[in-house]
Structure 1
């Protein structure tokens, strides 16, 4: 029997795909779930996969690799899709796809199957990575070819095949969770005129109104752009993000209601919870302000836009993304130091920063200027800097 590797989350869609693959392709279905921080979503996964018809299930804990090789490079780039979204779903897909390819080769499978819909971004992200790493593998995307047209249809299909799942059409948001974030789509969020039902929706965070009335100070230490300590204690990346998720969620930080432009051309609405990531981005940005020169910081901010677009559209394993990452790494050689932040009711308030590579000079910046700056030099600078304006004004006066 030929084999197919199924990217399995244990959710409604990928569970329905198991019997569908067996019926329509006569494949042996091997499920693969990559643990990038889904937490309790992994409970009971093996029993569900096997009882739905899979021959086996791989559960691979790749949280460390996720943080080191995908989260931190994106953080160092300060990449935000459409200046807001911290790419939580996007950065997990190339890692998941890479491992799917590795297991497909190990198992001798001829195809990889994913549960992304024909309207979504994930189909692009999965398939571009598979094409980049193993172009010989066949790709199956059931949502583009089967008769199931909605989550309601998928629930009915599972029920007909004796698969009972804890979902119903009224409560099942489409969610994606990992260590970095939690996304929500569907239900009332599809109606852009409505406010999200945050009391029902949020799982990592509280609303700012429900956050404590007392602010909390934290201090983060970075080494070459990578966070390495929290409040003076060295900490690994997985533990750090988990801790910051707790702190940020407690103070109502990092909830984003975004109407975004998908890769496939349509606009879609999602609510994203990224409490720890939002804190890290704020701290890293503050340290870059201190340690990077004007031109590098400005150019890097334009590069971040393209970097985010590449990650969002699934182009992680591309020469351009890798080249941009090399540039980012070069800029991070001096992004070392500590940043203090105040967390208060959805706000991240800078409370000081220091670095041995600081480009800030108190002697230069102070009103009581020291020997490094001569006020008289400013006159000549302004004359030259304003020369084009003076020439233009003279020309306009001549024309009159």
Structure 2
């Protein structure tokens, strides 16, 4: 431990990382601790961050604006892939790789001896952080307090913080484990640890990005999204960068109770955990993109893409963002997006997203062919030969079965 003179900590200002700063100084011979906060859209959580970091014992704090890179290089490619993990739209797991990458860059620039993160030994984030760190700095020492210290619970963390006069923004009653970025907000712990407990959506202060569908307006809200090659470029006819579109959709979707997801999920480390997620803008964006693809992707590509989206989602969830397979899958997805251009209209109402129209210059849908009225380009009699050829294996199998039955009856 005496060899560790300078540590760069992935810092959020929450309970875990606030406690970790004095713990590092106590257990690593009063080493210098440099805090790094990656801003991935949680702007409202950055108030007084520098004061809190310094008050906890950090020598300095970097606040890095990573929002656009987060959206353009991580969120949008995952949305284009249609990837989720057991229905969860991968908010926390998308943010960890970019934060780890920046922590390593600063650690190298600062000449640090180690990097540190506040992920618990029960969770997925420890894997996501450490695999990303290994990718960029395989030789870098990684300090993991939750796997080293004697603290066993969040209540004990609060005891430690109070004993060391560490400023906190939570108390024992509101001590949910939360993670927030532009894409989502997660809630775990307290009453949510019992899957039999209904989430308190109507309770004041529980939801932050959304309202309960019960409190949403009684009149629907319409939104229109334009995409170019799978990238959102306009919201309600106004050109905007993707991060601003997501931010605005968070407001619109949140007001209408969109994107609440309560799930018992299978963690990478083997246990099941219960979480509640708020992803209002992301849920709208996913739905709009999916609807547009129904027009522009052929059947085989769409089905294969859906199949591969499961693998893509598992790779992201499991911290494998920088793996060769994820990169290969993204190359496939990028090719599928060449014609995903057009407009989608959606109606939002009390937690529901209703398709209200879709248009694309690359649409493979032909009203003239599919119509129940007279149309050009398709003769219904053509189906006779098609079905006969398609059914050839069935007819052969049936003939063989009938012959074998006759032979058996003779015996």
Query: Is the pair's TM-score, using the shorter chain for normalization, greater than 0.5?
Result: yes
Would you say 1:46 and 2:50 are equivalent positions?
A: yes
Gaps of 5+ in 2: 406-411
Partner Cα separation in structure 1 for residue 61 and residue 248 of structure 2: 30
Partner Cα separation in structure 2 for residue 167 and residue 223 of structure 1: 42
Matching residue within 5, 13, 21 for 1:10 = 13
For residues 1-400 of structure 1, the aligned pairs below 5 Å read 2-26=5-29, 27-82=31-86, 84-200=87-203, 201-400=206-405
Per the normalisation by structure 1, the TM-score is: 0.98
Partner Cα separation in structure 1 for residue 26 and residue 197 of structure 2: 41
Per the normalisation by structure 2, the TM-score is: 0.95
Q: Aligned to 1:358, what secondary structure does the other structure show?
A: coil
Aligned length: 399
Moved more, 362-371 or 85-94: 362-371
Partner Cα separation in structure 2 for residue 202 and residue 167 of structure 1: 15
Q: Aligned to 1:199, what secondary structure does the other structure show?
A: coil
**Alpha-carbon deviation of 1:369?**
4.1
Partner Cα separation in structure 2 for residue 369 and residue 87 of structure 1: 47
Partner Cα separation in structure 2 for residue 377 and residue 293 of structure 1: 21
Partner Cα separation in structure 2 for residue 399 and residue 196 of structure 1: 61
Contact 1:180 1:277 in 2 (8 A): yes
Partner Cα separation in structure 1 for residue 246 and residue 167 of structure 2: 34
Partner Cα separation in structure 1 for residue 376 and residue 196 of structure 2: 59
Partner Cα separation in structure 2 for residue 264 and residue 68 of structure 1: 29
**Alpha-carbon deviation of 1:124?**
0.2
**Alpha-carbon deviation of 1:33?**
0.3
Partner Cα separation in structure 1 for residue 16 and residue 154 of structure 2: 8
**Alpha-carbon deviation of 1:300?**
0.3
Contact 1:179 1:241 in 2 (8 A): yes
Contact 2:55 2:167 in 1 (8 A): no
Contact 2:34 2:60 in 1 (8 A): yes
Contact 1:155 1:167 in 2 (8 A): no
CA separation of 1:96 and 1:393: change in aligned 2, threshold 3 A = same
Partner Cα separation in structure 2 for residue 307 and residue 322 of structure 1: 10
Runs of 4+ residues over 3 Å off in structure 1: none
Question: RMSD value over aligned CA atoms?
Answer: 1.0
Contact 2:97 2:319 in 1 (8 A): yes
Query: Over residues 122-143 of structure 1, what are the superposed CA-to-partner deviations in whole Å (9 max), with x where a residue is unaligned?
Result: 0000000000111111000100
Query: Over residues 326-369 of structure 1, what are the superposed CA-to-partner deviations in whole Å (9 max), with x where a residue is unaligned?
Result: 11000000000000111111111011111111001111111124
